[in-house]
């Protein structure tokens, strides 16, 4: 008899529903095989993308706290994200409300006047529930390590990825600020490597795995971001990798979608496929190629995944 | 760069206010330079992250406002992870930006987004760049 699916709150964030749908879809596909039914908090909004570093910009914390409060109202005690930015903002906002009584008081005061309008029914809800930081915010890599367990993943693997050489790319938001994210040691992380090994890939180390790709500077200072991204891609290629795996949609934009712009500045920039870790997970778990959204990539990852191009269905 | 040291009430107020907004102890920086060694955008900066802190310590608002470095921070927190005193320069830069640009002028606003990129830009990039560099 198949196991009953366990319900789990999942916060996708704005980019996953519009620009990087392959990250969202591969997450759903992989989590279903692992035995989870994902629930998105009702009426979720953008988390704000950036945790406000100015102590007085408290209003920037209301959106993430409103999302977490909704998870609590729906009976959830944890929520996971795959986007590193969402993870960073939700986790730090949660920590801020727990460690700072003034912030706790002020954010709850903002939320007290909230009128929530249901998107489907148009129904207004005004009942106030105080939020005290009691929802556990997790990244999917962390959830897999601490809750699912690598053993379970290994037992469900359908495809052999052993010939694929992958470099894990952490970027910035997953690990830092030091002491706040607590998912792994920021200067010497291993969670991504362990994940990749357990789904069967050959993991390659490279020196730029924690370097910043340029983040939002790809809009305001595109040349600086191109150089930072070029250094990462070049290092990955020189390390002998077939592909680079990551979790953040903004890193994906800088390292994959912008590869043509990087080439304008650096003609020797290597073409290297960039995949979301959930795509690799779903692929290892036997999910169909169509579901992975491989045609959304600038750099075609099919060959690196061992897919025979001539057999690809039209 | 030759800087004449003077520390009047106005400059002290600025330093205190940056400390308040950033939650960081500005004076705990002893200029070891590890932040600048690790900063992924130091190559593009006119002054280095440790020099930026030095300008804040001395309350030199004009020099700060004129520096490109203040707007090259991607808040990646590499400096914070490596700082022996645990100082978060991204917070200090954000506080300084918020204090010295009070006139409602955007450093990077919606009108500067290239329209030809509208279809490919992830929402996350737009929201974060405006959160950092717009009023």
CB contact under 8 A, B121 and A214: no
Decide if B25 contacts B99 (C-beta within 8 A). Answer: no
Average pLDDT over residues A52-71: 94
Kindly give the interhelix angle for A62-73 and A101-112, rounded to the nearest 10 degrees.
70
pLDDT for residue B104:
64
At residue B101, the pLDDT reads 67
- Structure confidence at residue A129 as a pLDDT band (50, 70, 90): confident
In tens, the pLDDT along B13-72 reads 899 999 999 999 999 999 999 999 999 999 999 999 999 999 999 888 888 888 999 999
Contacts of A171 in chain B (CB under 8 A): 76
Confidence of residue B11 (pLDDT cuts 50, 70, 90): confident
Q: Which residues of A touch B122 (CB under 8 A)?
A: 15, 18-20, 249-250, 253
What are the strands of the beta sheet with A36-39, ordered from one edge?
A: A36-39, A6-10, A78-81, A136-139
Residue A247 exposure: Cα atoms within 13 Å on the Cβ side? 31
Contact between A218 and B125 using a beta-carbon 8 Å cutoff = yes
Which residues from B are below 8 Å from A249, CB to CB? 122, 124
DSSP 3-state percent helix, strand, coil across chain A (nearest 5): 45, 10, 45
Chain centre to alpha carbon of residue B48: 11
Confidence band of A219 (pLDDT split at 50, 70, 90) = very high
To the nearest whole Å, the CA of B6 is away from the closest chain A CA by 27
pLDDT band (50, 70, 90) for residue B122: very high
**What's the mean per-residue pLDDT of chain B?**
90
Interface test with B, best of A11, A14, A48, A49 (most B CBs within 10 A): A49
Find the CB nearest B122 among A48, A211, A249: A249
Instruction: Identify which has the larger pLDDT, A119 or B56.
Output: B56
Least confident of A285-289, A305-309, B74-78: A305-309
Identity of the residue in B72, B86, B94 whose CB atom sits nearest the CB atom of A224: B72
- Is the pLDDT confidence value at A220 over 90? yes
Q: Cα–Cα distance between A234 and A237 in angstroms, integer? A: 5
Largest Cα–Cα separation, chain A: 62
Contact A214 B94 (CB under 8 A): no
Q: What is the pLDDT of residue A313?
A: 53
Give the confidence band of A64 by pLDDT, cuts at 50, 70, 90.
very high
Q: Residue B103: left (phi > 0), alpha (psi -120 to 50), or beta? A: alpha
- Residue A33 is predicted with a pLDDT of 97
Which residues have C-beta within 8 Å of that of residue A76, sequence separation ≥ 6? A8, A9, A39, A41, A135
* b/e burial code for range A244-269 (CB count within 10 A of at least 16 → b): bbbbbbbbbbbbbbbbebbbeebeeb
**What is the per-residue pLDDT for A182?**
86
Q: Is the pLDDT of residue A11 over 70?
A: yes
Helical ranges in chain A per DSSP H: 14-18, 21-33, 62-73, 84-99, 101-112, 140-143, 150-156, 191-198, 217-220, 222-238, 249-252, 259-265, 277-284, 289-292, 302-305
Residue A311 has pLDDT above 80, yes or no: no
For residue B3, pLDDT beyond 80: no
Predicted pLDDT at B38: 95
The helix (run of H) or strand (run of E) holding residue B60 is none
């Amino acid at each position: 008899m198949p196991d009953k699916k366990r319900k789990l709150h999942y916060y996708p964030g704005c980019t996953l529903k519009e620009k990087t749908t392959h990250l969202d879809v591969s997450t759903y596909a992989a989590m279903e095989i692992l035995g989870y039914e994902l629930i998105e908090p009702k009426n979720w909004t953008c988390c704000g993308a950036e945790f406000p570093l100015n102590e007085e910009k408290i209003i920037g914390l209301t959106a993430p706290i409103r999302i977490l409060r909704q998870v609590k109202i729906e009976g959830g005690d944890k929520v996971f994200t795959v986007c590193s930015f969402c993870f960073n903002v939700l986790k730090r906002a949660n920590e801020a409300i727990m460690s700072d009584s003034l912030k706790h008081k002020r954010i709850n005061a903002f939320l007290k006047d909230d009128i929530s309008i249901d998107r489907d029914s148009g129904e207004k809800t005004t009942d106030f529930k105080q939020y005290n930081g009691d929802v556990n915010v997790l990244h999917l890599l962390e959830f897999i390590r601490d809750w699912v367990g690598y053993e379970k993943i290994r037992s469900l693997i359908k495809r052999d990825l052993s010939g694929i050489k992958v470099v894990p790319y952490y970027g910035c938001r997953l690990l830092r600020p030091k002491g706040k994210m607590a998912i792994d040691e920021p200067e010497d992380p291993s969670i991504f490597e362990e994940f990749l090994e357990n789904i069967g890939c050959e993991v390659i180390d490279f020196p730029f795995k924690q370097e910043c790709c340029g983040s939002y500077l790809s809009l305001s200072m595109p040349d600086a971001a191109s150089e930072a991204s070029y250094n990462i891609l070049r290092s990955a290629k020189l390390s002998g990798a077939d592909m680079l795996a990551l979790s953040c949609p903004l890193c994906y934009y800088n390292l994959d979608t912008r590869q043509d712009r990087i080439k304008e500045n650096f003609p020797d920039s290597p073409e290297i496929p960039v995949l979301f870790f959930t795509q690799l997970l779903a692929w290892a778990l036997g999910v169909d190629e169509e579901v992975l959204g491989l045609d959304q990539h600038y750099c075609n990852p099919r060959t690196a995944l061992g897919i025979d191009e001539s057999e690809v269905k039209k | 760069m030759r800087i004449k040291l003077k520390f009047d009430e106005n400059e002290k107020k600025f330093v205190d206010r940056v400390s308040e907004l950033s939650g960081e102890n500005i004076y705990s920086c002893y200029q070891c330079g590890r932040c600048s060694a690790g900063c992924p955008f130091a190559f593009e900066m006119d002054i280095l992250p440790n020099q930026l802190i030095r300008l804040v310590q001395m309350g030199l608002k004009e020099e700060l406002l004129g520096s490109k470095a203040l707007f090259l921070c991607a808040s990646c927190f590499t400096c914070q992870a490596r700082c022996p005193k645990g100082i978060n320069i991204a917070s200090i830069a954000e506080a300084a930006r918020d204090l010295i640009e009070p006139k409602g002028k955007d450093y990077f606003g919606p009108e500067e987004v290239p329209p030809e990129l509208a279809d490919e830009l992830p929402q996350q990039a737009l929201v974060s760049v405006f959160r950092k560099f717009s009023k």
